[in-house]
Amino acid sequence: MTQQREQALARFETEWPAHAPDHAEVQARFIEAYDSFHALGLADPHFDQELLSGGDVRFAQRLGEMLLAQRLRDAGFVLNSRPKGPDLRATKDGRAVWLELITPEPRNFPPDWFEPGEGAWTVPNDQMLLRWTAAIKEKKDRGQAYLVDGVLTSDEPYVIVVNNALLSRWGTELRGISQKPFVVEATLGVGPLQIRIDRTTLETVDTGHQHRPNVTNKNQSQVPADTFFDPAYRHVSAVMGTTLDTRSLRRAEWENYLAHNPNAVSLVPYGFLPANEEWACRVNQDGYMVYKVASPSQGRR
């Protein structure tokens, strides 16, 4: 066993203590992902240093990359990467897609969000959504730089993967106040549920989701949450939301949600990437409708 591999196992032990009942199983899943990531040549020169000694944030970010590769490999994709460019190129059935992962850090969250305890608490939906929108914008800019440098070409889809491992209290929290996935709220302007009531009869006449194209940050500035309608995002084919952390190692299933950009230059076919739910948007002259793709066969493109 190499020294780095031993250090990786030791670092894992700080995250998943030996007294946990499923320790051996989760440890085996971790080391399998670590070995495969290196065997495939996906680790850049700084990967091990940041995974092993980069602090909790860098560990979470690098672990996310490793587990994304593992999940895609388990789904039958062939993976590779380049010294400069998106994190992973995933190929299957003669089709390729680039994936760029980001693990945003929590900012402006209430202090008690990550503290275990009983009783009621407030879910920081707006703070979470703002971290999702910021993460997507950051990787949108990165993708644009890849295009300018010629590392990325417009004929292959570019997918941003937002890993909420550092925002999550329970190991999930992938849905926002709308009860839709955060990827839908952050890209297609879907807001909370609302009820319209007749002022005379006081009867409910309509229910639905608010159109929320912006979310207010702590400086009272409006942050766009309908970014798929911004031409600057046309090179972003889709955004995936998921949780990739040590807790996710104990689950055989991969929980993730995929929102497709209706205005993308290069589209990802429905059903191509593994996802619990895929969300799409139909645009017409009167507006647009956001809907969940019923099955991979619906509208395959």
Number of H helices, E strands in the chain: 6, 12
SS3 10: helix
User: Which pair of tokens denotes residue 51?
Assistant: 């995974």
Contact partners, residue 51, CB within 8 Å, separation at least 6: 8, 11, 58, 59, 62, 63, 66
Instruction: Indicate the pairing of strand 95-102 with strand 158-163.
Output: parallel
* pLDDT the model gives residue 297: 41
* pLDDT the model gives residue 209: 61
Give the integer Cα–Cα distance in Å for 94 and 100.
20
On whether the CB atoms of residues 131 and 104 are closer than 8 A, the answer is yes
* pLDDT the model gives residue 197: 63
Total-model pTM: 0.91
Spans in the chain with pLDDT lower than 70: 1, 116-117, 119, 193-209, 295-301
* pLDDT the model gives residue 298: 42
Buried b (16+ CB within 10 A) or exposed e, 208-220: ebeebeebebeee
Give the integer Cα–Cα distance in Å for 113 and 171.
13
Q: Which of 207, 137, 218 is nearest to 178 (CA)?
A: 207
Using CA atoms, how far residue 261 sits from 89, 177, 194, 205, in Å, is 19, 21, 25, 32
Map out the domains of the chain as residue ranges. Answer: 62-292
Give the integer Cα–Cα distance in Å for 151 and 100.
13
* pLDDT the model gives residue 68: 98
Give the integer Cα–Cα distance in Å for 195 and 209.
9
DSSP string, 187-241: HH-EEEEEEEE-TTT--EEEEEEEE--EEE-TTS-EEES-GGGSGGGTT--EEEE
* pLDDT the model gives residue 116: 64
Give the integer Cα–Cα distance in Å for 134 and 150.
24
